[in-house]
Structure 1
Amino acid sequence: MASEIQTGYSFFHGCRITHGKGAVIKKPFTDMDLTMHELTAGSSKGFSGQLGFIEFNTSCRLPRHIHMDLEKRRLADERILVLHGAGMVEIAGEVFVVAPGSLVDAVGGVPHTWTACPAGVQLPDGYVTDGTFTMVYEYEEPTSFFPTASTAPITDASQYKEFTGNLDEIRFPKLTAKEVISKARIVMDQEICNLKLA
């Protein structure tokens, strides 16, 4: 098995955000404006779960969750490509804005949740958010959303503590652009950067 190419910014829990050329954005033909976005980013894993997309706005706020196989025996990894717009992800309790064209590798067992970045946040490259984004996702194996109140990563499916309360309690909070500036950061290329208001 080939070794995995290290790209992007890797966190202590194994999740990674990749922005820039490491996000595997290719222009294979010099005679046309065709852009390819690949989900693999050099991964050696074989993904066989669901593949799809979600269109987000700021009212679509997922509850915090992890992914496991449907029998709850194994944790399952997820890959997300932010196709256009800017998303916000909470990974293990930290909030990040995710720039267009970035990949997020969410390790199975690391609690995460998503929403769109509100309008009016300026990214370091000058892009200004509009309150929407589209994600393309792929799971390592068939899975579902397993809600959790905890932000602490787990390393085995048997450690999962199911959340049975009102899902509104664990949804990504509604944030204004000003709150995003004070609470979130962004990965640009391989650096963690601050944000500002447009």
Structure 2
Amino acid sequence: MTTRNTKHIGIVLPNGCKAVHGTSAHIKEPFAFTSLSMHELDTGDSHCYRGQFGFIPFRDDSRLPRHIHIEERYEQDLELVAERILVLNGVALTELAGEIYVVAPGTMVEIEPGIPHTWTACPPGVVLPDGIISEGQFLMVYEYSEQTGFYPTRSTKPISSTGEYERYNGDLEAIRFPRLNANEVIATGTLIWNNQTTKDLRLAN
């Protein structure tokens, strides 16, 4: 059995969110009868997840409005909710606390409670370091730490309690992920790659 033991997997982004991609996962080959590798994206020592679980197919015209998540209970003292996203295939774009990240297939992004965020698919023509080229679509698998809904916000500033949340009641188009072409993604986006972030992106020929 071959394992790469590590207590902490993935990388922590400046806004406190965590991303796990490539060799930053806990990679192990636990079965002697096959060379199958397991890419463990969560060692079980982070948030407990009891909320909704599902998937969304995204295209580059599927631009979510910026939002956070809050518990949906009929009680006082509601808590902010964590979310984790697995980019199953395709190349994604996410905005976390105002910063745009390019997310490769096979990456899990764990969004800390109170971090304003939004998602869309990377437009066609952006080349990742391993030669994968974005095609304007990706498949998202999502899971929440508690049952929650969609709470729109104009602000990109992280909050630490539900009392700081200022609901946005305007036109949701104004807070949707901006329309970006491949050149703009390369100029403004940061790629999450293995155990670091990088600007190693280029245009397809």
- 3-state DSSP of counterpart to 2:169: coil
Give the conservation status (yes or no) of the 8 Å contact 1:37–1:101: no
Q: 1:83 aligns with which of 85, 88, 96?
A: 88
Task: Tell me which residue corresponds to 1:6.
Answer: 8
Comparing 25-34 and 126-135, the one that deviates more? 25-34
Q: 1:93 aligns with which of 87, 91, 98?
A: 98
Post-superposition shift, 1:103?
Answer: 0.7
Task: Tell me which residue corresponds to 2:22.
Answer: 20
- 3-state DSSP of counterpart to 1:113: strand
For residues 25 and 54 of structure 1, the distance between their equivalents in structure 2, rounded to whole angstroms, comes to: 26
Q: Does 1:155 align with 2:160?
A: yes
Post-superposition shift, 1:17?
Answer: 1.6
Post-superposition shift, 1:73?
Answer: 1.3
Task: Tell me which residue corresponds to 2:197.
Answer: 192
Distance of aligned partners of 1:5 and 1:50 in 2 relative to their CA distance in 1, 3 Å threshold = farther
- Cα deviation code 1:74-129 (max 9, x no counterpart): 00000111000010000000001100000101001000000000010001221111
**1:62-141 to 2 correspondence within 5 Å?**
62-71=64-73, 73-141=78-146
> What count of residue pairs does the alignment treat as equivalent?
195
For residues 32 and 121 of structure 2, the distance between their equivalents in structure 1, rounded to whole angstroms, comes to: 34
Distance of aligned partners of 1:138 and 1:35 in 2 relative to their CA distance in 1, 3 Å threshold = farther
- Cα deviation code 1:138-176 (max 9, x no counterpart): 100000110000000000111000000000000001110
Distance of aligned partners of 1:33 and 1:100 in 2 relative to their CA distance in 1, 3 Å threshold = farther
Give the conservation status (yes or no) of the 8 Å contact 1:92–1:152: yes
Distance of aligned partners of 1:179 and 1:157 in 2 relative to their CA distance in 1, 3 Å threshold = same
Comparing 156-165 and 41-50, the one that deviates more? 41-50
Aligned partner letter, 2:87: V
Post-superposition shift, 1:38?
Answer: 5.2
Give the conservation status (yes or no) of the 8 Å contact 1:23–1:101: no
Give the conservation status (yes or no) of the 8 Å contact 1:39–1:79: no
For residues 71 and 39 of structure 2, the distance between their equivalents in structure 1, rounded to whole angstroms, comes to: 27
Q: Does 1:47 align with 2:53?
A: no
- What residue ranges of structure 1 are gaps of 5+ in the alignment? none
TM-score by length of 2: 0.87
- 3-state DSSP of counterpart to 1:179: helix
Larger radius of gyration: 2
For residues 55 and 31 of structure 1, the distance between their equivalents in structure 2, rounded to whole angstroms, comes to: 35
TM-score by length of 1: 0.90
- 3-state DSSP of counterpart to 2:187: helix
Comparing 50-59 and 71-80, the one that deviates more? 71-80
For residues 90 and 74 of structure 1, the distance between their equivalents in structure 2, rounded to whole angstroms, comes to: 22
Aligned partner letter, 2:172: L
